Amino acid sequence: MQYGAIVVTFNRKQLLIESITALLNQMVPPAKIIIIDNHSTDGTKAELQTADILANPSVDYRYLTKNIGGAGGFARGMQIAAADPNLDWVSMSDDDAIFEPDYFEKLIAYQQNHPNRQILTGSVYIEDGRLQADQRNRFTNWSTFQAQAVPESEYRGNFEFDQYTFCGVFMSVAVIKQVGVADAGYFIWWDDCEYAVRTGQAESTGQCECG
């Protein structure tokens, strides 16, 4: 499996450096890291150059001429990933997501044993070590899209979910080609929720959390 990682950033250069470094240090590193810079004004590009990140051939840095929001950034990243014939899977995250070194190794191993699963995630924890359970939810009403967080007790194993955020979600590029890219019109809120609805309603996506 060849996978890419989409990272959307805006004016958080130090966090971005940490995030990209964590991706480069994965046990199974991404073939391509697509950085969508939403017109940062804090010297992000210079910081990336100083850290020798832009010299890495796996890094594809795109500086946008205006801020099109997180939703627009993810939509642009998805377009780039879907157009790359060398990528089979792709992850999505903001610049504050710091992945454990074995994050993608575990997800890839799980998918190889469960090839019907086309959307996977790992668990999200905040800095003090607490689980951020609201990142993975189930709809209690598909008509109104009311949702509730998956109970923390279920994180002891793998489980299915309906709704995810763009914080470490990992999906087949085939899913993007099937349902399209994120809706840039949301700008910054609810774009991932709407995308989860679309992928959840598509055939054979198989969404699963791998703890």
Tens-place pLDDT, residues 74-89: 999 999 999 999 999 9
69: which DSSP letter? H
pLDDT at 201 over 90: no
Considering Cα of 82, then 87, then 91, then 96, what sign does the dihedral take? negative
8 Å CB contact between 5 and 91: yes
Instruction: Say what the pTM is.
Output: 0.93
Element (H, E) at 32: strand 32-37
pLDDT at 211: 55
pLDDT digits (tens, 9 = 90+) for 26-37: 999 999 999 999
Task: Report residue 210's pLDDT band, with 50, 70 and 90 as the boundaries.
Answer: low
Q: Report CA torsion sign: 78, 165, 51, 37.
A: positive
Contact call for residues 150 and 136 (beta carbons, < 8 A): yes
Identify the three-state secondary structure at position 96.
coil
Which tens digit of pLDDT belongs to each residue from 111-168?
999 999 999 999 999 989 999 988 999 988 887 888 899 999 999 999 999 899 999 9
CATH number at residue 51: 3.90.550.60
Overall number of domains in the chain: 1
**Structural domain boundaries, residue 126:** 3-209
- End-to-end Cα separation, the chain, in angstroms: 20
Token pair, residue 34, equals 């697509």
- Amino acid 139: pLDDT: 87
